[in-house]
Structure 1
Amino acid sequence: MGFDLCLLDPAKPIPADIMSLIIDVDLQNPDMIARLRAFRKVSERGSDQIIAIGKGNLQDELQATALGARKTILKPLSEKSLATYIEDRRTTYGMTGKTATATTQLAAKAIQNSFDKITSNQPVDLKQINEAGQNIATAIADLGISEWLSTVRVYHQSTFQHILLVTGI
């Protein structure tokens, strides 16, 4: 489906580079809540937390929202419900995997670095900007323009709008 999927060991820390985390845990467990909060602090921009809750369980729904869940899904989880959910996310939000996300993050760093240099009266690193542009062009060629734009939209809505406005002009 275009994703690397894995089950995480509940006893280990949640990796920060996960794009989408589907969580089926006891939301009344203080240790699990602390781990989910820690993940939220270090997770990459644009990562989603989807938390499974019991039908009609208002307390779990409120706790999921407080923990940063972008969406909730109903328990019990099944292979079919997970596959349907993942495919919906992939197509609706254009979550295309690590290559597009890494390219987007490198480009964002290049832009930030340029602004930092400008504000401190230093020359902009044109090599870094050129490399970021080449990586974007390669990603667009590999993914297609629609999936690339969807990836940008997931990563940063304002940049997505800027791209559309610049293209229109």
Structure 2
Amino acid sequence: MISLKQQVYTTVSLVLVLFIRNTTATPVKRDACRHPGEDDLRAMLGQYVPNALSFATSPGAYSAPASTDCPVSYGSSAPLSMRSNCPYYNVENTDGSRYPPTLVEAECYKCQKCITDLRDDSEFHPLWSCEKLTTRVWVLRNSNVCIGGVYQYNAVQVDVALACTCVRERL
């Protein structure tokens, strides 16, 4: 006859063997976390001003021009960005760990100096150069921390280029 002690030992051993077999044979679900919905992210970001929602765009809406050389001359229907003494164009800035993921920002054309009509001997100002004019806006950054099955986002500020402007050299 089997003693009570042996029965308990056999039962505990069997339970341990089954537990170990089931835990090693079943893969652990590592990516059980989901991203918040678009409405939730928009509501979270809406609490911060100024936020990046006004700079958000769909991917593929903007691209660099065929040539980024300095456009000294332009047509009569040229937009303000081309008629500026520091011409610029809009590009997409995409970051998959940020909300909104795609922002529109300015990129300066490759001009040596500011374009000017003040001098007869040159199209460019001898001292002044072009720089991006930026503003700081709030975005949400994925922290990669999962709480309650949802990724957490933190509000952070980033610089976004609005345009390019003519500036004097730093002293």
Shorter-chain-normalised TM-score: which range? under 0.3
Write 1 or 2 for the structure with the bigger share of helix: 1
- The TM-score, its normalising length taken from structure 1, stands at 0.20
More strand by share: 2
Bigger radius of gyration: 2
